[in-house]
Amino acid sequence: MDREGHGFSRAASGREIQRALAPEVTLQRSGPQRLKPESDGRAVTARVELVPFPARLMASAFLSFLVLCPLAGSAQVVASHAPTLATPATTSTAAPSVASVQVLPPSSGNPVAKVNGAILTEKDLLLEEQAIFPYAGIHNGSVPKAMEPEMRKGALQMIIFEELLYQEALREKRTVPAERMKRAEVEFRKQFATEQEYNQVMQNEVHGSQQLMREKIRRSLLIEAMLKSEINDKAKVSETAALAYYKANPKEFQRAELFSIQTISIIPPQNPTPEMQQEARKKADSALKQAKTTKTYQDFGLLAEKISEDDWHVNMGDRKAVERDKLPAPVVDAALKMKAGQVSDLIQLGPAYTLFRLNAHTPAGVAPFAEVKAKLMTDLQKSRTDKLRAALDKKLRQTAKIEVL
């Protein structure tokens, strides 16, 4: 794009005026990224970034101890943690006595790992993979082949971590309050639309045993409690700590000069004839006259929706904050002479015409703490969480006997 005054010249698409005023954007998938491979120079491991722990419990606060049969409308229980873990060792030098550890009957399916004697199966692994990659339903019910090895590795690490947490909770003699158990059982039952659906799942998964189902629920709640006390509570970041980080790392909060603008654009057809160009100019002059009468963001936006021919007209002409070097020079020159709330004169860029309302001009510099505080606290807490999870996983593995089958 020519940033010296012809940034809106038309090419095959006929909409260069839109791109010229738009910041360059890297497209990202909307919603949470479920699986992200990453490497630190060693073998690539699966890094799973999931929604926060409480949200992943769904309505029932359960982990992936249960596979729900494929019934219409049935709720699926999902995993509730997102650790970044080291590659699991097959064995450790010292293993604790597991005589006091209550080992629940394993899920159906072939064994994939043993953790101090507790068997984890293909069904457990499949549930975790589905939690990491919830889009399997649109991929013939399975994980894409290219993602399968890393997905499986990450899922295996997680189900081992869950089992280690559960066994540690038992060794510490942790308990679940009766009221919490009762509430969880009620929430679990509410997931099913009919009594028949509930009974079918109970029969398929725990052979109709209410006691075994309660133990599985108890297991999930113990894991939840371990994560809360050993990771989530310790990872909390105070405003004071965030401010200290902000002051110590000013370069991380540098921002470019920004212009927040709304635009109205008139774009003639590609390769316009003189008559077409003249008609576009008449429309642009009329647009300018109307725009100059607007007094507010809303007034200008409604006019943009009505007469503008660029893609932003559907969003009240609002381009949000655009970095200075992403804008054509004539637009920047005009904006530097304006105050917030003012409307520019008509600007010709190639065969097209544009005018804009300046909503804000933010100089380059360090963003104020108040502006970055919320995201900074979130980022710092996530970093702490990752480190605490990795450290806890390492600690639990040191005294565990883990066999990957």
The pLDDT assigned to 132 comes to 76
pLDDT of residue 138: 55
When mean pLDDT is compared across 33-47, 158-172, 250-264, 274-288, the lowest value belongs to: 33-47
Measure the CA–CA gap between 390 and 170, rounded to whole angstroms: 21
- How far does the chain reach from its first CA to its final CA, in angstroms? 57
Residue 133: the pLDDT is 73
Least confident of 61-75, 139-153, 258-272, 287-301: 61-75
The predicted pLDDT at position 137 comes to 56
Write down the pLDDT at residue 40. Answer: 37
pLDDT of the residue at 401: 94
Of 246, 202, 195, the residue nearest 370 (C-alpha): 246
Domain parsing of the chain, residue ranges: 16-27+257-363, 35-237+380-404
Distance of alpha carbon 46 from alpha carbon 85, whole angstroms: 9
Pinpoint the alpha helices (H) of 136-227: 148-171, 178-190, 195-206, 210-227
Tell me the C-alpha distance between 82 and 146, whole Å.
21
Question: What pLDDT, on the 0 to 100 scale, is given for residue 22?
Answer: 39
Residue 12 is classified by DSSP as T
How many Cα atoms are found within 13 Å in the side-chain-facing hemisphere of 399?
A: 11
Identify each DSSP E strand in 87-160 by its residue range: 111-115, 118-121
Q: Write down the pLDDT at residue 103.
A: 54
In single-letter form, the type of residue at position 280 comes to A
What's the mean per-residue pLDDT of the chain?
76
**For residue 334, which amino acid is it?**
A
For residue 9, pLDDT over 60 is answered with no
Q: What is the dihedral of CA 382, 388, 390, 393, to 10 degrees?
A: -140
Question: Left, alpha or beta for 173 (phi > 0: left; psi -120 to 50: alpha)?
Answer: left
- What are the tokens at 148? 């399968």
pLDDT in tens, 332-390: 999 999 999 999 999 999 999 999 999 999 999 999 999 999 999 999 999 999 999 99
Distance CA 93, CA 178 (A): 38
Question: Looking up tokens 């932003």, which residue turns up?
Answer: 312
Q: How far apart are CA 221 and CA 53, in angstroms?
A: 12
CA gap 77, 220 in Å, rounded: 11
Compute φ and ψ for 308, nearest 5 degrees.
-70, 150
| Lowest pLDDT segment from 36-40, 229-233, 235-239, 395-399 | 36-40
- Name the band, by pLDDT with cuts 50, 70 and 90, for residue 98: very low
pLDDT, position 204: 82
Show the tokens assigned to 271: 């390769």
Average pLDDT over residues 167-192: 92
Could you please state the CATH topology (level 3) that the domain comprising 16-27+257-363 is classified under: Chitinase A; domain 3 (3.10.50)
What are the DSSP calls for 259-299, one per residue? EEEEEEEE-PPSS--HHHHHHHHHHHHHHHHHHHT--SHHH
Residue found by looking up tokens 């600007």 in the block: 347
CA atoms of 348 and 6, how far apart (whole Å): 8
Of all residues in the chain, what percent carry a pLDDT higher than 70? 71
Beta carbons within 8 Å of 23's beta carbon, 6+ residues apart: 322, 323, 326
Taking phi over 0 as left and psi of -120 to 50 as alpha, with beta for the rest, 117 belongs to: left
In Å, how far from its chain's centre is CA 199?
A: 35
What CA–CA distance (Å, rounded) separates 367 from 315? 26
What is the arithmetic mean of pLDDT over 10-14? 32
Output the pTM of the full model: 0.56
The per-residue pLDDT for range 149-173, each reduced to its tens digit, is 888 888 899 999 999 999 999 999 9
Per-residue pLDDT at 110: 87
| Cα gap 233→325, rounded to integer Å | 43
Single out the residue of 223, 205, 301 nearest to residue 53, CA to CA.
223
Tell which wins on pLDDT, 244 or 11. 244
Tokens of 212: 């075994």
Q: Which residues have C-beta within 8 Å of that of residue 12, sequence separation ≥ 6?
A: 270
Architecture of domain 35-237+380-404: Orthogonal Bundle (1.10)
Q: Which residues of 184-223 are buried (b: 16+ CB within 10 A; e: fewer)?
A: bbebbeebbeeeebbebbbeebbeeeeeebbbbbbbbbbb
Residue found by looking up tokens 């929706």 in the block: 305
